[in-house]
Amino acid sequence: QQQVKQSPQSLIVQKGGISIINCAYENTAFDYFPWYQQFPGKGPALLIAIRPDVSEKKEGRFTISFNKSAKQFSLHIMDSQPGDSATYFCAASQLTGGGNKLTFGTGTQLKVEL
């Protein structure tokens, strides 16, 4: 199975709070795990990505935690801001034939309230 399961479907967080989005995958051959942010009417934009040899990666307010044995990874957004309100997608891929086709989760609609 090539699925990536994402939860929650929607999330409301107060300004300054921590937003947490979780994903689980089945294919142990996946070796690249990016997170994308999408605003209405726009294409997905790469936020942060991790490879399975690392358990955590932090870039500014965004952190990916990765648990290889549980086949799970999560996105933490610290000090959430109204401008972070968007849809977030986790994804996974396996490098095959020189390519990198992505399998996406179903997305999480994040709303950050004042």
The C-alpha atoms of residue 19 and residue 16 are separated, in whole angstroms, by 9
Residue 74 binds to another protein (criterion: CB under 8 A): no
Residue 73 binds to another protein (criterion: CB under 8 A): no
Nearer to another protein (CB atom), residue 9 or residue 114: 9
Burial of 43 (0-12, 13-18, 19+ CB in 10 A): exposed
Q: How far is the CB of 59 from another protein (least distance, A)?
A: 13
Q: How far is the CB of 105 from another protein (least distance, A)?
A: 6
Nearer to another protein (CB atom), residue 17 or residue 72: 72
